[in-house]
Chains A and B, each alone.
Chain A
Amino acid sequence: MTQRRKVLLSIAVVLLAAVAVLSVFFVQRRKADYEMESYQGIAMGTIVSMKLYDEQTPALCKQTKQWIDALEQIISRRIETSPVAALNRTGRCKNGVVAATVRQCEPISAATDGAFDLTIGDVSALWDFGGEHERLPAQSEIEKALKTVDYTSLAADGDTVTVNDGQSLDLGAVGKGLACDWVKDALQKSGIKGGVVSVGGSIVAFGSRNRAGEPWRVAIKHPRNDNALLGTILLKEGFVSTSGDYEKFFEQDGKRYFHILDARTGYPAQSELCSVTVVCDNGLLSDALSTACFLLGEEDSKALLKTYDAAAVFVKTDGSISTFGNVDFTAYES
């Protein structure tokens, strides 16, 4: 081989090596996560968990928690100064958030034939799931409270919301999902590359944790085994809410009473399901739908889910798992 060829060959080898090394470098860089800020705290009476990702470590968790606190000041019926509490006392309130929520939930109440009903406040108060006075109310008490349950009397005109005398609004079924909507809007405005936030188990995920755009992995808690997970949902972005009979419940005389109440009967839902997880592009809806689907049961849920272009993972009390719609769910081996 001539001298010149040798030189060219060596240069070629060096260049090749450089290219190889650089490509490995860049591939690794793409797969490498952005800087993460993580947080665990309490807000809205529940556990809030956040993982925020950006080129530089974000410093938004505390602020995000404050947004959630701000929302609670609006929608909590236990906070005396909230518009909802005012509504429950006086029969009317003026608040854009409450009004929008009422409007969005109305079709769902209709679709469940009233089983899902925001005016269930008086009944919820009797049971007081998760509260200090959690108990099994007497039938007569429930029947009395049921009289005030009627979503058709709930009206939202502009920002003004009105109910009938004695009616009581309880946004507990949708509050966490709503918080997720708020969180997403605020965080996306901040421009960070991605994040996943859990507000009491309702999840919002947007962006990605790395340059490769890897989807988020949201696991679903196992309905019967506290330490286990059912499986993982892969999603690029969206909202995930689960309704289950295992979150807030008590047992009496061998029967389990859990916090998902059927507004038609005033008693916990009679369903073959023990857990429903809904994936949707709106937080409030994912939360409302998960409750609604639990109340409706698997078959009847399908039409509702389709209307909202949502997907779901159903778990029956017998342990069988099924999915509906466009959701990438992988169950773990048990």
Chain B
Amino acid sequence: MKADRRMFRFGDAIVYAVLCALCVLLFLLPFLQKQNAPLLAEIIVDGEVSETIDLSNDEMPVVRTVRGCEISFSREGVRVSAADCPDQLCVKTGTIRFPGESIACVPNRVVVVLRRQTGTRDPYDMVAY
């Protein structure tokens, strides 16, 4: 290891450049996706979708408890209102409102993801009869 008096070198610039570019790109990604369709919340347990809740449906359940995570639904978004995990990160995440956002309770292996309704494509656009 070299004793180095300089604070900044060329390589550092490259690292910053690459990471910043990546960052910008990732933030732009949502603008590929459409904003206006109704929201669906997918509850994923152990990697498999166990339930999908339509947030635009007036009859949706308000609360679902999955594996120790109490998930609350509303028209605007979803949050984990209580959980039995030690870190409580899922609760601290707060409310998610946009498609693509998710709340994860990693110890319980539970994830809630918001999706747009149109994102799940039907195999057809319209039916003729």
Q: Give me the interface of A with B, judged by CB distance under 8 Å.
A: 7, 10, 14, 17-18, 21, 25, 28-29, 32-36, 38, 49, 51, 57, 196-198, 201-203, 205, 209, 216-221, 229, 232-233, 240-242, 244, 247, 277
- Chain A residue numbers with a CB within 8 Å of B33 are 32
Given contacts A25-B25, A29-B32, A33-B34, A242 and B128 within 8 Å (CB-CB): yes
Is B123 engaged at the interface, CB distance under 8 Å to the other chain? yes
Docked pose: A218 CA to B32 CA in angstroms: 25
Chain B, range 52-103, C-beta contacts under 8 Å to A: none
A36 touches B37 (CB 8 A): yes
In the complex, which of the residues B28, B123, B125 contacts A209, with contact meaning CB atoms closer than 8 Å? B125
Q: Interface 1/0s, chain B 1-45, versus A by CB < 8 A? A: 000000000100010011001100100110011111100000000
Docked pose: A209 CA to B95 CA in angstroms: 32
- Chain A residue numbers with a CB within 8 Å of B127 are 198, 201, 218-221, 229
Q: A21-B21, A35-B34, A221-B127 are in contact. List 7 more A-B contacts (CB 8 A).
A: A14-B21, A32-B32, A35-B36, A217-B125, A221-B129, A233-B128, A242-B129
Closest to B25 in A: A21
Docked pose: A41 CA to B84 CA in angstroms: 46
- Chain B residue numbers with a CB within 8 Å of A205 are 125-126
- Chain B residue numbers with a CB within 8 Å of A220 are 127-129
A258 vs chain B, min Cβ distance (A): 13
Q: Give me the interface of B with A, judged by CB distance under 8 Å.
A: 10, 14, 17-18, 21-22, 25, 28-29, 32-37, 118, 123-129
B123 touches A217 (CB 8 A): yes
Closest to A214 in B: B125
Docked pose: A35 CA to B37 CA in angstroms: 9
Given contacts A35-B35, A36-B37, A57-B36, A218 and B125 within 8 Å (CB-CB): yes
- Chain A residue numbers with a CB within 8 Å of B124 are 217-219, 229, 232
Docked pose: A209 CA to B126 CA in angstroms: 13
Docked pose: A229 CA to B37 CA in angstroms: 25
B123 touches A232 (CB 8 A): yes
- Chain B residue numbers with a CB within 8 Å of A247 are 129
- Chain B residue numbers with a CB within 8 Å of A21 are 21-22, 25
Q: How many residue pairs bridge A and B at CB < 8 Å?
A: 84
Docked pose: A112 CA to B118 CA in angstroms: 43
A10 touches B14 (CB 8 A): yes
Docked pose: A29 CA to B33 CA in angstroms: 8
A33 touches B129 (CB 8 A): no
User: Which secondary structure characterizes the binding site on chain A?
Assistant: strand
A-B contact pairs, 25 of them (CB 8 A): A14-B14, A14-B18, A14-B21, A18-B21, A25-B32, A32-B32, A32-B34, A33-B34, A35-B36, A51-B126, A196-B125, A198-B126, A201-B129, A202-B128, A205-B125, A209-B125, A216-B126, A218-B124, A218-B127, A218-B128, A219-B123, A219-B126, A220-B128, A229-B124, A232-B124
A324 vs chain B, min Cβ distance (A): 16
**Taking each of B10, B22, B124, which has the highest tally of chain A beta carbons within 10 Å of its own beta carbon?**
B124
Closest to A244 in B: B129
- Chain A residue numbers with a CB within 8 Å of B129 are 201, 220-221, 242, 244, 247
The 7 A-B residue pairs whose C-beta atoms are closest, nearest first, are A201-B129, A219-B124, A221-B129, A217-B124, A242-B128, A240-B128, A219-B127
Closest to B118 in A: A36
Given contacts A36-B37, A232-B123, A203 and B17 within 8 Å (CB-CB): no
- Chain A residue numbers with a CB within 8 Å of B28 are 25
Given contacts A14-B17, A18-B21, A36-B118, A277 and B32 within 8 Å (CB-CB): no
A51 touches B128 (CB 8 A): no
- Chain A residue numbers with a CB within 8 Å of B123 are 217, 219, 232
Docked pose: A51 CA to B36 CA in angstroms: 13
